[in-house]
A and B are shown apart, each in its own frame.
Chain A
Amino acid sequence: MKKVQFQSPWLPYMLLMPQLAIVTIFFLWPAAEAVQSSFYLEDPFGFGSTFVGLDNFSDTLTSTDYGRVARFTGVFTFFVTFLSLGIALLLAVKADKVLRGASSYKTLLMWVYAVAPPVAGLIGVLLFDQHVGPIVDLFALFGWRMQIGVDYFDTSFAMIVTAVWKQIPVNFIFFLSGLQGISKSVQEAASIDCRSGIRRFWTVTFPLLAPTGFFLLIINITYAFFDTFGIIDVIVKNEPGNNPVTLVYKVYLDGFRGNDLGGSSAQSVLLMAMVFVLTVIQFRLIERRVHYT
């Protein structure tokens, strides 16, 4: 293979500059600011501040509420990721086999992708409203009196359903294109060797989909952690009360709603550390098992 080299040693850096500038201004600089202010307790108007060392971190970690929020974030992320990947995969496999009207099916499954998270949250609020929500009326027929905003479990349920519903289309599109990328000859060879369709799926199709699946796993965990903010904000109506909230939403509540800059910064530093660890685990442990063709 022929090696192409830049004439000037500065040119590659020049070409990288815009990207590096964006990363520095919009990520590194704010992150450094957050780390710095996590050691202070500061009057929001900027008139006074006290260096408190690691107090913000210890206050955060010892509060009972933070543990509860962290647990909910874990459960929420697990269910949103698992259900949205699982349901999307099922739909993609079924849609892949449809011969007549395939494009209408696919369009129907994809359109939700275009809905913005706060709008999705709003639709969720309407469907699950404790006074007029049709889903609440439906469950009432089976004897489940849902009360979103009052009952912790019911509110979690509504959040997960809305977040999953919003995320299925993205996963569906990727899984479908992944399935269409598997060559016909492999599938035909497999169907000669094995008659069981389910077994063929798990031993041949699923491993070949693994790169797509791994990519989607990361995307979905990030989605559940961060992008569900709009959905949660609309469902709790800007009043956390006794409702489940995620870690990111708590950073917003304390920082922007409560003007506790130090405490909120400490929480975002912890969140950064968590996401960092999660990313390392994903790439170290899971990616090794994924085969790229």
Chain B
Amino acid sequence: MAYRKTVASFVAAAALLGTSSASYAATDIAWWHAMGGRLGEVVVDISNGYNASQDACKITPVFKGTYEETLTAGIAAFRAGEQPNILQVFDAGAATIIGAKGAVIPAQDILENAGANFSIEDYIDGVRYFYADSDGKMIGMPFNSSTPILYYNVDALKKAGVEAPKTWEEFAEIAPKLKEAGYVPLAQSHLPWIFTENFKSRHNLQFATNNNGYDGSKDTKLVFGEPIKNHFTAVKGWLDDGLFGYYGTGWGDNQTPFNEGKVAMWLGSSGSFGGIAKTVEFPFSATYLPYWDAVEGAGTGTFIGGAALFAMSGKPDEENKCVASFYEYLTSPEVQYMWHKETGYVPITNAAYELAKSDGYYDSTPAAEIGIKQLTLPGGDWTKGYRMGFYVQIRDVMNREYGKIMSGDTSVEDAFKTIEADGNKLLERFSKTTGN
């Protein structure tokens, strides 16, 4: 009996020792993210995979709500000195966090300080410089990266006897046939992202002064020329002729009619791929975002949307080392390929893309490759992205004015005048927030 007791106490003590030594050895790091639903589950899978892959660090992902809520929570925590090690910030918030000099440690620095190999050339073209500074140093680690592409209902196009359009000129030709076949030919889910930011990139047009805003926030101004105004005039005409459907600013409100088979083609995110595949009952496929052939130099690649991971400053070195080692794990081809397959977001490194190709993923599902192929199309001077502050409000202004165009409350010309005036005012105000 006594012997048994001794053994039991030894076992208990050993177990206790085991747990305590493990918890002392592992450095805890926190990751605040905005990935809800299925995406959140994959985030947890990635974290668990990382924790299982090594003993030194333990990452804990915390869901913080929408993109805007996550950024606001991160800011409040930073001011209270309680910031997480990694904060996920979306494209429109990038200027806010990068503009606050000293809030983040650049991804490139944190990796190089930890002795990791870093080369920006390893990342695919459309991803590389979006979260970089004007010198091309990577500040945020791109995480969930997507780009707008055209999804189409294969049955609908067959019924109308048409092919998916490559250009907007082609769309204008086939749209009446789709309407005759009983469909609303086209809808889209995000006018500022798809018909403004990526419109600029797809046509290689300047979006803002100061190198699209990358060279500093002072005196940055929006640039709107004839092509984008002509585009909105055409879109409004299609809407009036029943060739285009506009269902408001909500993403889902515009995607639902496509999922239900009422709308034949829908412009959405390459990251929507997984969701559509699970929802729709008709065969679907995808192709590139159309462009206007009439615009000279058009047909260039798009850049990414989505969000990036930012390493917050003010943390001890050993925690920063853990962040670096997590970044290395995250960007490894296997993890990127898993993320790509599970969610539809593009793999961010060339190696991961090669792995997906060699694995034969795109032979079975060619539509999954459209996003990344579009991002690797030849670029130009204006295809690496944009950097503008108070951009959330600027997008709100665009949505408001575009909504007015669609409902006929204002003309295209007046709407763009208002967007320029209100947007430039916001940019001017933002440049004062950084104190210079």
Binding site for B on A (CB under 8 A): 41-50, 52, 59, 63-65, 130-131, 147-152, 236-243, 253-254, 256-260, 262-263
Q: In this complex, which of A42, A52, A260 has the most chain B Cβ atoms within 10 angstroms of its Cβ?
A: A260
Interface contact B253-A130, CB-CB below 8 Å: yes
Interface contact B399-A241, CB-CB below 8 Å: yes
Q: In this complex, which of A42, A43, A63, A239 has the most chain B Cβ atoms within 10 angstroms of its Cβ?
A: A43
- B410 nearest CB neighbor, chain A only: A242
Total cross-chain contacts (CB, 8 A): 134
Q: Is B113 an interface residue (CB 8 A)?
A: no
Residues of A within 8 A of B392 (CB): 257-259
A48 to B103, CA, bound (A): 11
Interface contact B407-A44, CB-CB below 8 Å: no
Across the interface, B79 reaches (CB within 8 A) one of A45, A63, A152, namely A45
Interface contact B425-A42, CB-CB below 8 Å: no
A45 to B389, CA, bound (A): 13
Interface contact A41-B249, CB-CB below 8 Å: no
Interface contact B101-A47, CB-CB below 8 Å: yes
A45 to B397, CA, bound (A): 24
Q: In this complex, which of A242, A253, A254, A257 has the most chain B Cβ atoms within 10 angstroms of its Cβ?
A: A242
Residues of A within 8 A of B69 (CB): 256
3 nearest A-B pairs in the assembled complex, by CB-CB distance: A242-B403, A48-B435, A241-B249
Interface contact B393-A254, CB-CB below 8 Å: yes
Across the interface, A47 reaches (CB within 8 A) one of B100, B407, B422, B429, namely B100
Interface contact A43-B433, CB-CB below 8 Å: yes
Contact with A along B265-296 (1 / 0, CB 8 A): 00000000000000000000000000000000
- A44 nearest CB neighbor, chain B only: B75
Also in contact, A152 and B422, with CB within 8 A (given A147-B247, A258-B393)? no
A49 to B403, CA, bound (A): 34
A135 to B418, CA, bound (A): 35
**19 cross-chain CB contacts under 8 A:** A44-B96, A45-B100, A45-B103, A46-B78, A48-B100, A48-B101, A59-B429, A131-B256, A147-B247, A149-B253, A150-B248, A151-B407, A239-B399, A240-B399, A241-B248, A242-B407, A243-B248, A253-B396, A263-B429
Residues of A within 8 A of B101 (CB): 47-48
Q: Is B432 an interface residue (CB 8 A)?
A: yes
Across the interface, A149 reaches (CB within 8 A) one of B250, B397, B426, namely B250
Residues of B within 8 A of A241 (CB): 248-249, 396, 399-400, 403
Residues of A within 8 A of B72 (CB): 256-257, 259
Q: In this complex, which of A131, A262, A263 has the most chain B Cβ atoms within 10 angstroms of its Cβ?
A: A131
Residues of B within 8 A of A149 (CB): 247-250, 253
Contact with A along B59-101 (1 / 0, CB 8 A): 0000000101101100100110000000000000100110111
Interface contact B247-A59, CB-CB below 8 Å: no
Closest CB in chain B relative to A205 CB, distance in Å? 46
- B73 nearest CB neighbor, chain A only: A256
Q: Is the interface of A mostly helix, strand, loop or mixed?
A: loop
Q: Is B436 an interface residue (CB 8 A)?
A: yes
Closest CB in chain B relative to A151 CB, distance in Å? 6
Closest CB in chain A relative to B62 CB, distance in Å? 19
| B374-429 CB contacts (< 8 Å) to partner A | 390, 392-393, 396-397, 399-404, 406-407, 409, 418, 422, 425-426, 429
- A129 nearest CB neighbor, chain B only: B253
- A257 nearest CB neighbor, chain B only: B68
Residues of A within 8 A of B406 (CB): 150, 242
Interface contact A45-B97, CB-CB below 8 Å: yes
Q: Is B257 an interface residue (CB 8 A)?
A: yes
Interface contact A41-B248, CB-CB below 8 Å: no
Also in contact, A45 and B250, with CB within 8 A (given A131-B256, A241-B400, A241-B403)? no
A52 to B69, CA, bound (A): 27
Q: Is B36 an interface residue (CB 8 A)?
A: no
Interface contact A259-B71, CB-CB below 8 Å: yes
Residues of A within 8 A of B433 (CB): 41-44, 48-50, 262
- B425 nearest CB neighbor, chain A only: A59
- A261 nearest CB neighbor, chain B only: B433
A243 to B397, CA, bound (A): 11
Interface contact B434-A238, CB-CB below 8 Å: no
Closest CB in chain B relative to A101 CB, distance in Å? 42
Closest CB in chain A relative to B186 CB, distance in Å? 16
Closest CB in chain A relative to B148 CB, distance in Å? 17
A158 to B364, CA, bound (A): 46
Closest CB in chain B relative to A229 CB, distance in Å? 15
Interface contact A259-B248, CB-CB below 8 Å: no
Interface contact B248-A256, CB-CB below 8 Å: no
Given A47-B435, A243-B249, 16 more A-B residue pairs with CB atoms under 8 Å apart are A43-B434, A43-B435, A45-B100, A48-B435, A49-B433, A50-B433, A50-B435, A59-B425, A130-B248, A149-B250, A150-B403, A150-B406, A237-B253, A239-B399, A240-B249, A242-B399
Also in contact, A41 and B432, with CB within 8 A (given A150-B247, A256-B72, A258-B390)? yes
Also in contact, A131 and B103, with CB within 8 A (given A44-B75, A64-B418, A240-B400)? no
Interface contact A259-B75, CB-CB below 8 Å: yes
- B74 nearest CB neighbor, chain A only: A45
Residues of A within 8 A of B246 (CB): 150
Q: Is B360 an interface residue (CB 8 A)?
A: no
A48 to B431, CA, bound (A): 11
Closest CB in chain B relative to A243 CB, distance in Å? 7
Closest CB in chain A relative to B240 CB, distance in Å? 14
